[in-house]
Structure 1
Amino acid sequence: SYLLEIDPVGNELPMIACEDVLPKSDINIITATALINHSLQRLLELGSNGINIVLGPSTPLSPVLFDFGADILAGVKVYNKNAIVKSITQGVKKFKLLNGIEPVCLYKK
């Protein structure tokens, strides 16, 4: 397994390594932040030989991403906006401790 990072530390690989690593990988877990930094489309293309999972609370739960090579979208759904706002304003920093959200996965048909 490999961990690719924009600013690698320790055993992490620089993002440039994605050109070699992703085409050979069976499973690629890609943070939804890649959408924000404009690298998602390329990462999905490079990982097309494997299963591409877009993961994180900022994952858009839109089937449109399946057209670009995503196989699984793993994000969250807010079911209680007051609870999530309260958690955040009370300083909850660990994602799994936030109230008012539930994990959601969408799978490509």
Structure 2
Amino acid sequence: MAKAIVPLLKKQRSGSIIQIVSMSGWIAQPEFVPYSTTKGVVLQMTRNLALDLGPFNIQYNAICPDTILTSATNNHAAHLKLTIDEFAIEEGNNTMFKTIGFTSRDS
């Protein structure tokens, strides 16, 4: 996406790109090596492009959502030997707002 749009944004000397990354780009998790690695790469790409594109008045940012309910979440909870409800409470207690519960991307 960046490869396709950046030349156009440079030409107009303005724009904004927002990447959806993941908290897994920031933190380590057990048995998440491939996922966390790819998210870390996208996060670093975002940082570098923000620096490179800033002089062209182009903003390049990332949104890093925390845990959402997916099949990977269910697998991770099972790996930790927690029910999904127990996992939701534990994850919720680790957030700054102490929220409990998930929003499913499938709903």
TM-score by length of 2: 0.32
Write 1 or 2 for the structure with the bigger share of helix.
2
Write 1 or 2 for the structure with the bigger share of strand.
1
**Which structure would you say has the larger Rg?**
2
TM-score by length of 1: 0.31
